[in-house]
């Protein structure tokens, strides 16, 4: 009987510790997602400094989360942890391109590789939004630069050929990104054609004068 009670006590203490880690990691993950969402909103407002503050905050929380879960695989690979990592990758990729003009490499992140490639897929959607914002302002060349970085991101996804069990749905992310890019290319092409037509009409009117 004593052995049974001792066994149950040890088992309960272990699960209590796991549950505590789970609750703490869930709270941290939610805070990371909030920071990243705010950072992305600031970038869409062209406030890079404001975005940087939330990126720094999210980075500290990611480090804390990884340290907390690194020895507990069932939590390290929990959906909410991977979601937080994916959101963090998306926010950082978006921020780094706006401030430095390139795609931040995987080695700069302390996240699962699946979170990185999913983050690329999500960021392509944010880059499309920036491309459309520039189209509305008739900044065609700048809009085209976002199309170029979107294609670069898709290029990374296309070069990887691993099972979905490892990548968390790589093919789905790549197919979705491809569709987004094709729509963006069509929007930009139409904008260039319309701009050319406007210039031709303007030149004709000048000649008539």
Q: Note whether 133 and 98 are same-domain residues.
A: no
Q: Is residue 12 located within the same domain as residue 44?
A: yes
- SS3 of the chain: CHHHHHHHHHHHHHHHHHHHHHHHHHHHHHHHHHHHHHHHHHHHCCCHHHHHHHHHHHHHHHHHHHHHHCCCHHHHCCHHHHHHHHHHHHHHHHHHHHHHCCCCCHHHCCCCHHHHHHHHHHHHHHHHHHHHHHHHCCCHHHHHHHHHHHHHHHHHHHHCCCCHHHHCCHHHHHHHHHHHHHHHHHHHHHHHHHHHHHHHHHHHHHHHC
What pLDDT is stored for residue 196 in this prediction?
Answer: 66
Same domain for 101 and 1, yes or no, is: yes
Q: 110-134, pLDDT tens digit by residue? A: 999 999 999 999 999 999 999 999 9
User: Which residues does the chain have with pLDDT short of 50?
Assistant: none
In terms of domains, do 1 and 101 share one?
yes
| 40 and 70 inside one domain | yes
- Domain end, chosen from 60, 79, 105, is at 105
97 and 131 in a single domain? The answer is no
Domain containing residue 34: 1-105
Q: What is the pLDDT of residue 158?
A: 95
Q: What is the CATH number of the domain that holds 188?
A: 1.20.58.2140
Tally of structural domains, the chain? 2
Q: Which of 82, 105, 128 is the last residue in one of the domains?
A: 105
User: What is the predicted pLDDT for the residue at 40?
Assistant: 97
The pTM score is 0.89
Provide the pLDDT for residue 115: 96
1-14 pLDDT, tens digit per residue, is 678 888 899 999 99
Last residue of a domain, one of 53, 70, 105: 105
Give the pLDDT score at 142: 94
116 shares its domain with 199: yes
125 and 39 share a domain? no
């Amino acid at each position: 009987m004593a052995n049974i009670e001792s066994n149950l006590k040890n088992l309960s203490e272990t699960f209590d510790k796991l549950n505590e880690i789970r609750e703490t990691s869930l709270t941290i993950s939610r805070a990371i997602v909030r920071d990243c969402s705010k950072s992305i909103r600031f970038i869409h407002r062209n406030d890079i400094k404001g975005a940087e503050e939330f990126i720094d905050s999210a980075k500290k929380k990611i480090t804390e989360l990884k340290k907390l879960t690194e020895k507990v695989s069932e939590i390290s690979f929990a959906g909410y942890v991977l979601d937080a990592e994916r959101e963090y990758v998306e926010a950082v990729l978006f921020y780094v391109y706006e401030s430095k003009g390139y795609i931040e490499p995987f080695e700069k992140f302390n996240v699962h590789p699946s979170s990185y490639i999913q983050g690329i897929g999500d960021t392509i959607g944010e880059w499309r939004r920036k491309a459309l914002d520039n189209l509305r302002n008739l900044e065609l060349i700048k809009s085209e630069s976002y199309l170029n970085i979107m294609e670069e991101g898709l290029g990374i996804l296309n070069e990887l050929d691993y099972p979905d069990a490892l990548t968390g749905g790589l093919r789905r992310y790549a197919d979705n990104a491809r569709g987004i890019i094709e729509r963006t290319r069509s929007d930009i092409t139409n904008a260039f054609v319309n701009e050319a037509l406007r210039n031709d009409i303007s030149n004709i009117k000048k000649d008539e004068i």
